[in-house]
Amino acid sequence: MTEEIVSLLLQSVKDIVSTDIPIENLKRPKSGMVIRYGEVSLSLAMTRIKLAASLGASLVWITGGLNLIQTLIKETLPCWFISVHRSDLNKVDSGGMIGMLKGYALAHFTVLSGAFAWGVDSVSSASKKRPVILEAHLGFMARALDCKTSLGCDRATWRAYVSGFVSLMVSCTPKWVREVDVEILRSLSRGLRKWDEEELALALLGIGGVSSMGAAAEFIVESSV
């Protein structure tokens, strides 16, 4: 069921982009007015994409509850990123725009699904497995960033997903980060630095609590060398 919901979400992204962001405006802006129009369209598209992600997360929660969401985060999404998608091979995507927006949609979808299942900062019976599931998911991210896991998805989608997911955790669910093993956070932050996402990487370590203070200090020293 989760695979179908993910597919519907990604199809909705393509539909939203084709409706709200005319492809010619992305390819060949002819004037400042066109550029501004494109920016407004992108903002509108992002709003609709977030709504679609919220609907998708709600459907997963209503359909299968806690267990389905934990399976989604631990197994379904990693398998999706590893798999090769034919729709990505033959598409026309101006500057990776569609791929990027798909990644942001998946990031919002995943974090919202987790929030439905575990809460944002609550400690309850439902959240007992949260650290295990998060460590599995973030560990997968870290291995992929370190090129230890091969990905089949669009690179723009992957990059937007990772940066979007981490940004949402840092800003909305800092308690989740504090429950993750510091070595996983350290590895993930190093991967983000390879993408020149040093500010985000440091923010991730910075909210990791006392256990990650040493890793944060080490990261700062390495970045200054």
What beta strand segments (E) does the chain contain?
none
Q: Has residue 75 been placed in a domain?
A: yes
36, pLDDT greater than 50: no
State the pLDDT at residue 91. 55
The Cα 205–Cα 202 span in angstroms is: 5
Q: Has residue 207 been placed in a domain?
A: no
Q: Give the tens place of pLDDT for each residue, 163-179.
A: 999 999 999 999 999 99
Q: Has residue 60 been placed in a domain?
A: yes
Q: Has residue 53 been placed in a domain?
A: yes
Structural domain boundaries, residue 22: 2-128+153-179
129, pLDDT greater than 50: yes
Q: Has residue 65 been placed in a domain?
A: yes
Q: Has residue 55 been placed in a domain?
A: yes
Q: Which amino acid is at 132?
A: V
Q: Has residue 167 been placed in a domain?
A: yes
- List, as own/partner pairs, every contact residues 191-196 make where C-beta atoms lie below 8 angstroms and the sequence separation is at least 24, other chains included: 191/141, 191/142, 191/144, 191/145, 191/146, 191/162, 192/145, 192/162, 192/163, 192/166, 193/219, 193/223, 194/145, 195/145, 195/159, 195/163
Q: Confirm if 134 and 68 have CB atoms less than 8 A apart.
A: no
Q: Residues of the chain with pLDDT > 70: what percent?
A: 84
Domain count for the chain: 1
- The contacts of residue 12 (CB under 8 Å, 6+ apart) are 49, 52, 105
Predicted TM-score (pTM) of the model is: 0.86
Q: Has residue 163 been placed in a domain?
A: yes
pLDDT level of residue 214 (50, 70, 90 thresholds): confident
Q: Confirm if 166 and 107 have CB atoms less than 8 A apart.
A: no
Determine the 3-state secondary structure of 28 from DSSP. Answer: coil
